[in-house]
Amino acid sequence: MTAIKPTFLGLVSAVSSSSVAVELSASVESGIIVLEGRNYRIGQVGSFVKIPLGYNHLYGVISESSETSTLDADSKISSDRKWIRVELVGESIGGNFDRGISEYPSIGDHVHFVVESDLKLIFRKHLNSHFQVGRLSSSEGIEISLDLDKLVARHSAILGSTGSGKSTSTASILRSMVIKSDQSPLPSARVLLIDIHGEYGPALSDVAKTFSIMPSGENQLYIPFWSIFPDKLIDFLCNNPNDSQRSLFMDKTVDEKRLGIVENDIPDIDADRITSNTPLPYRIKKIWYDLCHEDGINYSDAAMTAPAYAPGGEGAFDDLIAPKFLPPGAGSALPKKGGTGAMKRQLDLMKSRLLDTQYSFLLEPGDWNPDKEGKIKKDLDGLLEDWLGHDKPITIFDLSGMPSARLTLLLGAVLDIIFESAIWGRNVTEGMRERPLLVILEEAHRYLGKSESGHAKEMVQRIAKEGRKFGVGAMIVSQRPSEIDETILSQCGTIISLRINNSTDRGIVKAAMSDGLAGIVDSLPILRTGEAIIVGEAAQLPTRCRFNVLPDDKYPNSGDPKIGEKWNSVRNEEDYSKLVRAWRNQDSAQ
């Protein structure tokens, strides 16, 4: 008779398509077993078991445990029978672990709990494509690694309620992703982090270059307006003009872009093939001036060839001074009326946008801003080199302070530039196929909601559907997964879920897993801070993991205020003028 091993749990009593029911042996007591100097918890939801089948071992995750009572015929003797349900997830053949199973167990097969040597086989790190992110919650001696190839190419999501450690965990994953075991950064890593609240600069300062729309020590973030699709830009500038006004704007944009080719000596461009979407520099103020001219013009002759300027009223486009015309005469008297004035409201709004310093990073983009003649000091190659060609593996775009209503245009413009360069640069060394890029989208529910229809959502949907082919991956970070567009979230091949209290949000995570793992998902409300359940293509198995602890000086600026300490501190004389000045200047560093 074969001796029962100390790891024995029980026998298989039922088999379904993806799970098995196991009746625990009467000798198995719940609690902790000490084996080979290690503590193992028995029958815990989320822990692993194995079913030996000759040279083949099946592995599974406990998704449910229960107990039933039975009575004998004379109702005097009761018997408690303990059960666990196991979700089958993989197998090892000849020492190599693979997800999926090639055969099912039979009724009566032995089931054992998994010891550390088994876990090391499952979670062993493949040096080229895996990186270590933390340790198994049920066995601190086991390192958990993720497949970098699948995490980036197949997209991912980090989800968790406020206070679950989402920002800290994201920073920990990023540091593990781009820093090798000898603490040196990966030389060709490319990560672009969209930081909505300005949290990550201090946490990643040694491995990241930070750009900010309102810098206080960081680099100024410029997004050239002429690199954005003009139909999106005119919506922002003129607040949804009608079709004829939009068409007029597009025509003048094409004319200006043709001039930009000549003034900047841009080679290998066929002027006849230029469209409004071709990323070429143009003078947005000149377009505004020309539209003002056509909308308000009156003529001093009957042939309508000579504008009837008021004295000193020719204006100046570079200073946003519109032309002024003499009023039209009565009846057939000169001056003769020319413009309709139909765009006055839109042109006034456009001028206010162009004067608003809040949008200077977009409409006055530094060296990328065309001068009066249409010349630029730097082109798009310099912009991409600034963003992605520096010596740090991570680029942070600090967009804190940007209103949600304008965030979608700004973020859409960034992703537009990135993805278009990935598509058309797929066959060059600097393209994303040769140096893949991971785009991390913090606070994604703010601009990827189901009811949103902005440019940012359109671009993220494109990346989610097509990014893998061009070397661009997305990581969605959100505290409200139920608000994110389903098309985007369904494309995330790996889900990293921290503590989630809301039942609706948990339902979204549950929908991303197989039905048998529902018991694991139900444990989301009781996860500790910085602890997550990881499922999907980048994980070897559905895993409960504690992420690596960050160095003391590398935590994001996302901690809660210390209310008790602050309220008990001595109150000094206060001066609110600094607050108002910072508010008016849109600069929290003052």
Q: Return d(Cα 314, Cα 311) in angstroms, integer.
A: 8
pLDDT classification of 345: cutoffs 50, 70, 90: very high
* Six token digits for residue 182: 């000898």
Reported in sequence order, the residue ranges of 290-421 that DSSP labels E, i.e. its strands, are 298-299, 336-337, 394-398
3-state SS, residue 26? coil
- The torsion angles phi and psi of 317, rounded to 5 degrees, stand at -65, -35
DSSP state of 389: S
* Six token digits for residue 505: 């949000």
- In this predicted structure, the answer to whether residue 436 has a pLDDT above a threshold of 60 is yes
Q: Return d(Cα 131, Cα 178) in angstroms, integer.
A: 9
- pLDDT at 79 (0 to 100): 53
For 360-374, the pLDDT digits (tens) are 888 999 999 999 999
- Verify cis geometry, omega within 30 degrees of 0, for the bond prior to 328: no
- In this predicted structure, the answer to whether residue 54 has a pLDDT above a threshold of 80 is yes
- In this predicted structure, the answer to whether residue 473 has a pLDDT above a threshold of 90 is yes
- pLDDT at 588 (0 to 100): 60
Give CA 463 to chain center in angstroms: 11
- pLDDT at 586 (0 to 100): 56
Asked if 342 and 248 count as a contact pair (C-beta separation under 8 A), the reply is no
- pLDDT at 138 (0 to 100): 74
Give CA 65 to chain center in angstroms: 36
| Alpha carbon distances (Å) from 170 to 27, 146, 538 | 43, 14, 16
* Six token digits for residue 201: 């600069």
What number of CA atoms fall less than 13 Å from residue 335's CA on the CB side? 19
For 381-427, the pLDDT digits (tens) are 999 999 999 999 999 999 887 776 678 888 988 998 999 899 988 88
pTM over 0.75: yes
Asked if 476 and 441 count as a contact pair (C-beta separation under 8 A), the reply is yes
- pLDDT at 466 (0 to 100): 92
Residue 40 corresponds to which amino acid? Answer: Y
For 228-282, the pLDDT digits (tens) are 888 888 988 998 788 999 999 999 999 999 999 999 998 888 888 898 889 999 9
* Six token digits for residue 152: 């980036």
The whole-number average pLDDT for the span 552-567 is 74
- pLDDT at 210 (0 to 100): 93
Residue 344 corresponds to which amino acid? Answer: K
pLDDT classification of 3: cutoffs 50, 70, 90: low
Asked if 291 and 347 count as a contact pair (C-beta separation under 8 A), the reply is yes
Dihedral Cα 388, 394, 395, 397, nearest 10 deg: 150
Task: Report the side by side order of strands in the sheet with 437-441.
Answer: 139-147, 130-136, 543-547, 531-536, 494-497, 156-159, 472-478, 437-441, 191-195, 394-398, 208-212, 219-220
The whole-number average pLDDT for the span 439-448 is 92
- pLDDT at 264 (0 to 100): 92
- In this predicted structure, the answer to whether residue 195 has a pLDDT above a threshold of 90 is yes
Residues 6+ apart with CB under 8 A from 323: 289, 292, 293, 296, 297, 307, 309, 313, 314, 315
- In this predicted structure, the answer to whether residue 70 has a pLDDT above a threshold of 60 is no
Q: Return d(Cα 497, Cα 479) in angstroms, integer.
A: 10
- pLDDT at 517 (0 to 100): 62
Asked if 40 and 29 count as a contact pair (C-beta separation under 8 A), the reply is no
Burial of 547 (0-12, 13-18, 19+ CB in 10 A): buried
pLDDT classification of 1: cutoffs 50, 70, 90: very low
Q: Return d(Cα 142, Cα 545) in angstroms, integer.
A: 10
H or E stretch including 255? Answer: helix 243-263
| Angle at which helices 404-424 and 380-388 cross, to 10° | 100
- Across the chain, what does the average pLDDT equal? 85
Q: Where are the domains of the chain?
A: 8-124, 141-207+392-558, 230-358
- The torsion angles phi and psi of 496, rounded to 5 degrees, stand at -115, 105
Name the residue among 463, 512, 467 with its Cα closest to residue 486. Answer: 512
Q: Return d(Cα 269, Cα 274) in angstroms, integer.
A: 8
Query: For the ranges 135-139, 172-176, 218-222, which has the lowest average pLDDT?
Result: 135-139
* Locus of tokens 């592995």: 59
Instruction: Please report, rounded to a whole number, the percentage of residues in the chain having pLDDT higher than 90.
Output: 37
- pLDDT at 494 (0 to 100): 92
Helices marked H in 471-576: 486-490, 503-511, 518-521, 563-568
Name the residue among 209, 185, 182, 181 with its Cα closest to residue 195. Answer: 209
Name the residue among 188, 189, 212, 190 with its Cα closest to residue 200. Answer: 212
- pLDDT at 375 (0 to 100): 95
Name the residue among 491, 496, 495, 498 with its Cα closest to residue 473. Answer: 491
Give CA 477 to chain center in angstroms: 6
522 vs 549: which has the higher pLDDT: 549
Give CA 35 to chain center in angstroms: 43
Q: Return d(Cα 397, Cα 442) in angstroms, integer.
A: 11
CATH 3.40.50.1220 fits 141-207+392-558, yes or no: no
- In this predicted structure, the answer to whether residue 458 has a pLDDT above a threshold of 70 is yes
